[in-house]
Structure 1
Amino acid sequence: MRKNIFWYALSILLLAGVLYFFNRSHKSISEHSRLMGVSYEVHSHFQKLYNQLYKAAILHPALIAAQKSAGTKQPFYIDSATIINQATLLQQTVEDSVNKKIATRLYALLGQEIGWLLNANLPDSMQAGQNQSHIDVFRRMDSLITAGIERTKFLIAYRTDRLNEVINHVRTLMIGFIVVIVASLLYTSLNFFNQRYKRRRGEKEMATVLNRMSDSVISLNKEWRYIFLNDAALTTHPQGRQATLGRLMWEVHPEIKESAFWESYQKAMTTQTVVEVESLFGPLNTWFSARIYPSYNGITIFYKDITQAKQAEQQLAKTIRELTDYKVALDESSIVAITDQKGTILHANDNFCRISGFNREELIGQDHRIINSGYHPKSFIRDLWMTIANGYIWRGELKNRTKNGNIYWVDTTIVPFRNDDGKPYRYVAIRSDITARKLAEEKLVQSENIYKMIASSIPGSVICILDTKLTYLLIEGKLLEQIGYSRQQLLGKQAASVLPADVYAESEPFFKQALAGNTVKRESHRTGYDFITRYIPLKDDKDEIFSIMTVSIDVSELKNAQRNIIELNRGLEEKIKTRTEQLRKSNEELEAFSYSVSHDLRAPLRGIIGFSAILQEEYGKQLDEEGKRITQVIIDNTQKMGRLIDDLLEFSRTGKKTIQKANTDFNLLVPGIIEELSPPEQRKIKWEIKPLLTAEVDASLFRQVWVNLLSNAIKYSRTKTDPAITVGCLAEDTQKVYYVRDNGVGFDEAYKHKLFGVFQRLHDDHEFEGTGVGLALVDRIVTRHGGKVWAESKEGEGACFYFSLPAEL
C-alpha cells in the first residue's frame, strides 16, 4: 500500500512538472511567435517606408505639375501624410530598443526633410551636386532604414532560432514524457495485473481460511446484498451460497429487521466502528454472538452459535442463585464458621455470633479455643483434627462456652475444602444448636430410673420412650418379651426399621398424634395378648415435645372377659360377676399401684432433701457459688416432686372416692376459702362475691374445686397493680353455671384444650409455680357430678373459669 502511494505521488509530481514545463514552453513559444510577428511587421514597415521615400525622391516637380494639370493619375505619387503615417506605424510597432532609436531618429529626420523630398528630384540633385545637405539627410535616412531592415532581419532570424529551439525542447520533452507515460502505463498495467493476481490469490486464500473457520462469516455491500459467505455460514443459509449471493439480507431472513442484530448492523455501517452484539434470533431459536467490521463498501460479520454457552451461562447463573439461596438458608438456619488450614476463623455468620456472645470482630482471626469449654478430652480434639486434616468429613456433638461463660451444645459437621493437590485449605463448620435437646436428654437420664421403677412395678406392662424420630430410648416391662420382642432388638433403633410393616402401619397414626401433642389410647391384639397402649407426648419447659412415652398394659383377661360376656347369655350372670370382680381387682391394683408409687417415691425424695440439707449445712463453706446453686436446685426440684406426688395422690383419691351429696351453700363456703387463701399482704385484691346458688354436691370435693379455682385466680393476678377477682353464678333452664373471673395474665385460647389435662401447664414454673394437676382435679370432680368445666380468656387481660352442674341437682 505504501509502495502504491509512492508511485501515485511520483506520477502526480511528474504530471505537475510536465504541465508546468508545457505551460512555460507555451508561453515562451507564444512570446517568440509574437515577437517574430512584430519583427515581420516592423520589417514590412521599414520596407514600405523605404519604398515610399524612394518614390517620393525620384519624381520631378515639373512632371508632377503636368500630371496635375492634365488630370491624369500619378501612380508614383506619394504625399507627406502617407510617409508620416508609415513612420508613425513603424514607431508604434517597433519594440526592439535599437529599432526604437532608429525609428525615433528616422521620424525626426522625416519631419525635417519631408517637404524637400516631395519637391526635389533626388537623382538629378545627386547628379548636379545640388542640395548637398538634404542629400546627406536622405542618405542618413536611407542608412537608418537599411540598418532597421538589417536589424529586423536579424531579429527575425533570432526569433526563429529561439522558437525552433523551444519547439525542439518541447518535442524532446514530449518524446520523454511519452516514453515515461508508456513506461508508467506498462509498469502500472503489470503492477495492476500483479496486484489483481495477488488480490485474487489473497481472496482465495482468505476464502479458504474463512471457510476453515468454525465461526460463520458473511459480507454485505452498502446495499445490504450478500457478497460473501463462508462454509460455516451455510448452516444459517440453507438456500446455498449461489442462491444467497447478490440477494438482499431481508429477502433471505425476513425477520432480521425486527431483531437486535439489525440495529447493530446499521450502527456499524453508519458510524464505521466495530460493533459487538449478543442476542437471541427468534426465527432460528438460537443465540448468536456477532462482531461487525465496517469497510468503505459494506460490512463483514463474524458470528457464531452460542446457544449452548448461553444455556450453560443461564444454568451457571441459576446455580449461583441457588447457591446464594442455599447460603442464605444455611446462614438463617445454622451456625456457620469458615477457618483456614490452621484453624484460624475467617468467617462467622450472625448465628455464630449470637450463640457464642462474641461479635464478629472478636471471632475473626481467632481459633476455636476461644469457645472451648474444656469438656472434651485432648484425644477427642486430636481425633477431630486428624479426620479433617486427612480430607474427611467429621460429624459429632461439641460442648462450647459462650463469652459470658454459659454452656451450649452444637451438632457439628466439619467439611474440608481441598486444593488441586488434594490437601485441605479451608474448613467449613456447620452447626445446629442442640442445647435444649441435650438438657432434655439430661433430664431424661435423671428421670430414667423413675420410669424404670414405674414400669417394673406394673405387672404385665411395658413402657417405652421414643425420641421425635421414633428411636427407642428406653424400654422397661415384662410384656415386651411376651409379645415377641427383646430390649436389644429395639433399643437405639427407629420403630419403622424394627417393627413388622403391618404393626408399624397400625401404630404410625398414633405416633403422629402423640408427636402433635395429643394423648391417645389404642387397643390391640398380638400373639394371643390383648393390651391397651397409651401414647403420651413428653414436653420440655418450653412446651415443646422432645419425646413420647407409650404405656402398654396386658388386658388379655379383661378383654377375654368382655368377649365372654358378649358371647354368654344373660343366664351366665355368675360368670359375669366373676369376670367383673377380676376387672375390679385389676382397677384396684392399678389404683393401689398409683398410691403405692406415690408413697414409695416419698422415701427417696425425703432422703434427697435430707442429704442436700446436710450438704448445705456441713459442707456449704467448701462449696463454690455454682455448687451451692446446684444444691439448692436439687432441693427445689425435689420439693416440687413432693408436691407433684401429693397432687397425684389427691387426684387418685378423687377418682376412687365415693360421692356423698348434700345441699351445699356456696355463699358460706367461698368466703371462708378466700379468707384462708388470702394472707394479709394480698388483701389488696378487690373481691366481688355475687350471690351463689346452692347445689346438691359432695361438699368436701367441691371445697377442693373452689380452692383450686380461687388459688389460680389469686396466683395469676398477683402481677397486676390492682388485682380484681369476681365470683358469680348464672341460672339456666337445665344447668347452673358458676364462674371465677380475674384480671390477671390470662392465656392464649389456642391452647385452652390443654388446660384440664394432667400435668398440662400454659406458663413456666419460673413465672408461676404449680404442678399441672389442679385444673385436672376440678374437671374430674365436676364431671363426676354430671357437669362440665371450661374457660375463656384474652392474653394479658385476665381469664374466666366456668363449671356447670345439672339444675336438678
Structure 2
Amino acid sequence: MSYIQKTTFVAFLVASLCIAFLTGLFYIDLRNVLEASEQEGVTLKILRSVEVLHHSLQYAGEELIRYKQTNAAHHLGSYTEAGTELERHVLALDAVDSSDEVQQKQLQQLIKAVYRYKSAADSILKIPASAPPTQPLLASVDDFVHEQLDLLHEQVLLIENRSRAILQAADEERKQQMQNTLKVFIWFSVGVIVFFAICYMLVSKALFIRNRMEEKLRKSELLFSTVFYKSPVICCITELGTGRLIDVNDNFTSFFGFTREEVIGERTTDLGIWKSIKDRMEVVNRLKLNKSFRNVELQLHNRHNEPKDISAYGEILTLDDRECVVAAFVDISERKEAENASKRLNALLEQKVEERTKEIADYKYALDQAAIVAITDEKGVIRHVNDNFSKISKYDREEIIGHNHRMINSGYHPKQYFSQLWRTISGGKIWKGEIRNRAKDGTLYWVDTTIVPFQNAQGKPYQYLAIRWDITDRKKAEEALLQAIEELEEGAAKLKEAQAIARIGSWDYEFDSEKSSWSDEMYRLFGTSPEETQPSLPALLSFVHPDDVDEVKDKILLEAPSGHRSFYYRIIRGKEEVRCTYNELQYIHDEQGMLLRVTGIVHDVTEEKLVQEEKDKVTADLLQRNKDLEQFAYIVSHNLRAPVANVIGLTSLIHNYTPGEANFDKCLDGIQACTRNLDEVVRDLNHVLQVKLEHSETKEMVNLSELVDEIKTTLQNLIVQEEAVIYTDFTQVGELYAIKSFMFSIFYNLITNSLKFRHPERKPFLEIFACKMKGDIVLNFRDNGLGINLDAHGRKIFGLYKRFHLHTQGKGMGLFMVKSQVETLGGSIAVESEANKGAHFILTFKS
C-alpha cells in the first residue's frame, strides 16, 4: 500500500469516527432535551391544575357562605357542582407524577388540605337549615372559609413558586448544556479541520514528489519506447538464467496475441509459442557458443496456436547486473506463404500440364486406333504417320517420312481437285473430301479425308493434320450399286438383290403422266408395303422429314444443270424413327431434249452417318482440345513464366537485405504482387478448364424469355443508368434444350458487353431474337454500340485475354467463355461487326 493510500485511509477512518462521535453527542443532547421537555410539560400541567383547583375552592367557599346566608337552594346546587368539580381536579392532580420530590410532596400536602377543607365544609352544610342563621354563626363560617382558603392559597403559591423555579432551572440547564455542546463542536471541528489540513499537506507533498518521479519516468519511458516499444520489429528481453520474459514491445504482444501482463515474468515455454523444443535448444546453444545469433528462421505459435514463420536475431547483454537476451524477430510468414504458394502453383501447373498431356495422348491413342493420321509441314512434306497409315498404304513409316502424298497418288483425281484442296487449307480453312489412293502393292483404296491447318500467331499455316477414314467398302458398294443400276434391264432380280444387300431403293417419276414406281427396297426403307402405300411423288414426300421436305421437293422438280444430282435428307419411318438417306437423281430426256422423267436411288446411310458424325465430333473435339492446349501453353509461357521468374528473383534478392530495411519491404511487396498475379491467372485457367471438362449438370428446357427477364433484374441498376432498351422476340423459338447455367452465362456476357461498350453518342439498344434456319435454332444478339474492327481483330476476337476497347475495366475473358460454352453445348458462334456500327453475334444450335 502506497503512502498516499495509507494517508487517505487514515483520513477516511478519522472522518468516520468523527461522524460517529457527533452523532452520539447529538443523540445524547436530544435525549436530554426530550426529558426536560417532558418535565416542563408536567410542571405546566401542575400549574394549570393548581390554578383551576384554587378557583374551584374560592367558588365553592363563596357558594357555601351564600347558602348559609340565604338558605337558597340554587346556592346549594352550585356548591354541590363546585364540590364535584373540585374532586375531579384533585384526582387529576393526584395522578400527576412529578420527578421533583419537593414538588411532589407539596402536591400531596395540597391534596390533603383540600380534602380537609372539603370535609369541614360538608360538616357546615349538615347544620339544620330550619335553625335561623345568627350573626355570630355566619361570621364564624365566613372566617373559617377564608382562613382555609388562605391556607390553601399559601400552599398553592408554594407549588407555583416551586414549579417556576423548576422551569427556570431547566432553562438554565438547557442553556448551559447547549453552550457546552457548542464548545465541544467548535473544538472538535477545529481539530478535524487541522487534521485534514495536515493530511492534505502530506498528500499534496506526496503527490508533488510522485508527479516529479512520474515525469522523470515518462521521459525515460518515452526515450525507451522510441527504441524498444515502438520498434517496427518484434522485440523482447529475456533473463538468460531463468528464461523469464523481462519486457516485450507492442509488436510482440500483437504478433503473439498476449497482453503485457500475461507474458511478463513468464517463460516462453510456458506460453507455448515454441513449435519445437529442438529449435529452442538450437538457439540456446548458439547463444552459449557465439553470445548471439543472426537470421535464424523459426516457426513459432501464437496464442491461438496459429503457426508463424519468423527470422530471429539475438544477443546477450547485461542489464541491472543480470545477463539478459535481447531478441528481435521479423515476421516472414508472408514471404514463406508466397514461396509455398509459388511451389504449390508450380506443382499445380505441372499437374495440369501432365493431365492435359495425358488427355491429349489418350485422344491421340483413340484416334490412332480408329483413324488414319498424317501430319505434314507447310510444304506438304510428311513429318508423322500412324500405324493405320502404314497398314493401308503398305509403306513402312521410314519410307513415308520426308516425302509428300504424291507417292500414294492414284491418278484418279484431276489436278484441279488437289489445287482446290491446297487453296482451301493454305487459306487457313478445313478441307473435307473423298480421295482414292494407291498402296505400295498397287491396290487402290478410298479414304474420307479431313485436313486441318494449324496456324501461327500471324495466321499462316505451319503444319497440316490429315485425318482419314477407310471408306473402300462403301465405295465398292456404291460402285456395285451403280453397276447394278446399269444392269437393271438385264435382270430385275439381280437389282433387287443388290438393293437389299446395299439397303438401296430405287424409284422413278414421269413428269407428264405424274406416274411413279418404287422398288421393293423402297417400301422396306420407308417401313411400308405396296398395299399400304401407292407409289407417287406426294407419297414419297410424305415420308420426308418436315424440315427437309421443301428442299427435297425443289431438288426433285428442278433439274440440275449437269443432269445429275446427289444429296442427303432425313425420312421418318413408322411414327418416330428418323433415318438418314443418301440420294442420287438422274434426269432423262427425249431426242428433242425435253425432260421425260427422273430416276433416283435412296440409300439408307443412317449407321454410316452416325459413324461419320461421331468421327467428325471426335475430330472437332480433338482440334478444339489441341487449340485449348496451344492456348494453355501460351498462358504458361506468357502469363505464368514472368510472375514465377519475378518471385524467384525477388526471393533470391531478399536474402541480401536485413529486416527493417526499405529494400527488404519492397521485395516482400513485390513477392506478394507476383503471387496475386499467379493466383489470378490460375483461377482464370481453372475457370476455363471447368467449362471444358465439367458437364455434370443436367440439360433441361430453358425458357428464353424468363432467362432474359432474370438477367434484366440482375442488371436493373446498370440498365436504368445507361437508359438502355432491350428488345426480345422469341415467338418462333421460345425454349432451348441446354444447360441452364451455361445459357445464363452466355446471355449475361453478351448483354453486359452491349451495355459496357455502348456508343457515347446514342443510347444503348440491344435486339435479341430467335429463329429456325435449316432445322437449326439460331439466337441473334444485335446492338448499336462501338462495334469491332474485324479486319484488325477478326482472328483473335474470341481469344483469351483479348480486349478491343480499353476505356472500361475487364480481363478479356467474356467472349472466350461465351465461345467455349456455346461449343460445349454443341453449337457455334459467329460475329458480324464494323467499327462504330454495332455488333451482331449469331449463335447456332442443333434443333
TM-score, normalised to structure 2's length? 0.25
TM-score, normalised to structure 1's length? 0.26
Task: Give the number of the structure whose alpha-carbon radius of gyration is greater.
Answer: 1
